[in-house]
Amino acid sequence: MIGFTFSFGTIVLLIVIVVVASSIRIFREYERGVVFLLGRFWKVKGPGLVLIMPVVQQVVRIDLRTIVFDVPPQDVITRDNVSVKVSAVVYFRVVDPEKAVIQVARFLEATSQLSQTTLRAALGKHELDALLAEREQLNADIQKTLDAQTDAWGIKVSNVEIKHVDINETMIRAIARQAEAERERRAKIIHADGELQASQKLLEAAQTLAKEPQAMQLRYLQTLTTIAADKNSTIVFPLPIDLLNTLLDRR
């Protein structure tokens, strides 16, 4: 009889130990536990040591750290009907564990799928030139759109970065030709501006010299001095009649 009592007490003690051990949860600093009592949401607990009543209570562990995942390459047709493949990376984290568990099933998968559709929709509104040259603005637009939609899930999208924009060879050659034409256009404009500025300066100089005959004579003499320095050439230089008149008057 004593042996039976001892065995029963041992079994009870083991059951108590198992129940207590199964009710203990330890949550790290970056973890929270969403606790349900008889199927109803009760509270969010953690970090640290948390006691959960077996059977009566259930807990879902949520990681609050920033999650990074790659958006696989998406086929995007831009506003100017160019087909490209675009891949991106999304940074997000759970800010409300209750919503992340109750409002959406498998929030990781839901956020991934939403990121893919948002990426295609947002980039399809822009032309290829904007897609290549305005990535920072596009990243910000996609981030704001995603963040607004995931707010109901308790998720904060902190950043979106477009990684690669793959263009077919035909379009790459067309872009190269366009860039070359643009460079030629700018070169011609710069050359024309230079010619215009030079002609304006020459006009101003001519007007100034016309107002002062002595300045015109000094200019001729300076030109003669410059030409005389070259002894290998014979140059016929017209002598202004005004200069001759001046010399004759001095006699």
Instruction: Report yes or no on 150 lying in a domain.
Output: yes
pLDDT digits (tens, 9 = 90+) for 90-112: 999 999 999 999 999 999 999 99
Average pLDDT of the segment spanning 186-209:
81
pLDDT band at 3 (very low <50, low <70, confident <90, very high): very low
Could you tell me the CATH number of the domain that includes residue 147?
Answer: 3.30.479.30
Mark whether 226 and 154 lie in a shared domain.
Answer: no
Mark whether 165 and 88 lie in a shared domain.
Answer: yes
Comparison of pLDDT for 249 and 190, the residue scoring more: 190
Domain that holds residue 250: 212-251
pLDDT for 228 equals 63
Instruction: Report yes or no on 38 lying in a domain.
Output: yes
Residue 5 has pLDDT above 90, yes or no: no
Query: What is the H or E stretch that residue 24 is in?
Result: strand 24-27
Mean pLDDT estimate for the chain: 82
Mark whether 46 and 136 lie in a shared domain.
Answer: no
Spatial CA neighbour of 216 closest among 195, 234, 238? 238
User: Measured between alpha carbons, how far is 171 from 191 in angstroms, rounded to an integer?
Assistant: 30
Mark whether 101 and 72 lie in a shared domain.
Answer: yes
pLDDT digits (tens, 9 = 90+) for 117-171: 999 999 988 888 888 888 899 999 999 999 999 999 999 999 999 988 888 777 6
Instruction: Report yes or no on 43 lying in a domain.
Output: yes
Least confident of 55-64, 71-80, 99-108, 176-185: 176-185
Mark whether 83 and 49 lie in a shared domain.
Answer: no
Comparison of pLDDT for 174 and 11, the residue scoring more: 11
Mark whether 57 and 72 lie in a shared domain.
Answer: no
pLDDT for 2 equals 45
Spatial CA neighbour of 31 closest among 118, 101, 102, 97? 97
Instruction: Report yes or no on 188 lying in a domain.
Output: no
Instruction: Report yes or no on 202 lying in a domain.
Output: no
Least confident of 79-83, 96-100, 216-220, 242-246: 242-246
Instruction: Report yes or no on 128 lying in a domain.
Output: yes
Mark whether 74 and 86 lie in a shared domain.
Answer: yes
Mark whether 74 and 133 lie in a shared domain.
Answer: yes
Mark whether 85 and 98 lie in a shared domain.
Answer: yes
Mark whether 116 and 55 lie in a shared domain.
Answer: no
pLDDT for 172 equals 64
Mark whether 124 and 55 lie in a shared domain.
Answer: no
- Total domains in the chain come to 3
Range with top average pLDDT, 26-40, 68-82, 160-174, 233-247: 26-40
Mark whether 140 and 77 lie in a shared domain.
Answer: yes
**Would the pTM count as exceeding 0.85?**
no
